[in-house]
Amino acid sequence: MFYGVDLTSRLMLGTAQYPSPQVLLEAIEASGAEVITVSLRREGAAGGAFRDLLAKSRCRLLPNTAGCHTFREAVTTARMAREVFGTSWIKLEVIGHADTLQPDPFALVEAARVLCAEGFDVFPYTTEDLIVGEKLLEAGCKVLMPWGAPIGSGQGLRNLQGLRTMRAHFPDVPLVVDAGIGAPSQAAQAMELGFDAVLLNTAVAKAVNPVGMARAFGRAIQAGREGHQAGLMLERDMASASTPVFGLAELA
């Protein structure tokens, strides 16, 4: 549940870089996603036609502040997005490093505090840093979106232990792995760790077959979630035979 909204699908899908509008719609449908992200900057470039296109998907929109590098940019973009898309949901991005697209934690917390006070439902794109997570929750956020790896890199869960620790530290907070997921197996791994959802874009949009890849991600996320709920076996340092020795024939 995110800000009081129950969702069936645990996959959130981005809407950029697809080869055509029709492929985008088919990929959304194949994925089973119920939440799609959209950039205000793309809406401004394409006009109302892009908004009309997304309406056909019947998904909930999660506008983002992609491309913002300062507190002021992010807050202003969020306010504009609320007016354009008619939703209080906002994926808050404040980029602090041009090469890695790592979020600026100081500007991020500052912007989250202002937007939460203004009634926004903020989904902050952050790192797996526990202190930053605490500050975002104190600012009013009820969801955290740690990155798996740099945006568009496809590296998967680069800091596996850090993400596992974050999940344990915030057991009752909805956590969404956002960015860096490049393969269905990586999305399944995030779900196996106990994360509540995965948000991705490039791995589907730039695939040879985006519709097929979207379907694969939807199934992988479901499998990972079911694996987590069923209870994964613990890793062992040594082998452990699955067949008992008792009852085997003894050869003299």
- Domain coordinates of the chain in residue numbers? 11-230
Write out pLDDT tens, residues 41-94: 655 555 677 888 888 888 999 999 999 999 999 999 999 999 999 999 999 999
Give the confidence band of 40 by pLDDT, cuts at 50, 70, 90: confident
Q: Which residues lie across from 13 on neighbouring strands?
A: 36, 200
* Dist CA 144 CA 126 (whole Å): 7
Catalytic position from the list 56, 91, 135, 206 = 91
Percent pLDDT > 90 in the chain is: 81
Tokens of 6: 């129950």
Mean pLDDT of the chain: 92
Per CATH, the homologous superfamily of domain 11-230 is Aldolase class I (3.20.20.70)
91 assigned to active site: yes
- Residues of each annotated binding site: 152, 179-180, 201-202
The confidence score (pLDDT) of residue 54 equals 86
Write out pLDDT tens, residues 123-160: 999 999 999 999 999 999 999 999 999 999 999 999 99
Is the pLDDT reported for residue 217 higher than 80? yes
Is the pLDDT reported for residue 106 higher than 90? yes
Cα angle value 97/101/103 (rounded, 5°): 75
The confidence score (pLDDT) of residue 250 equals 67
Contact criterion met (CB below 8 Å) for 74 and 47: no
**70 contact partners, CB below 8 Å, separation of at least 6:** 94, 107
- Residues of each annotated binding site for 1-deoxy-D-xylulose 5-phosphate: 152, 179-180, 201-202
- Alpha-helical segments (H) within the chain: 21-31, 40-46, 48-55, 71-85, 105-117, 130-139, 160-169, 184-192, 202-205, 210-230
Higher pLDDT, 249 or 187: 187
Contact criterion met (CB below 8 Å) for 189 and 157: yes
Contact criterion met (CB below 8 Å) for 172 and 144: no
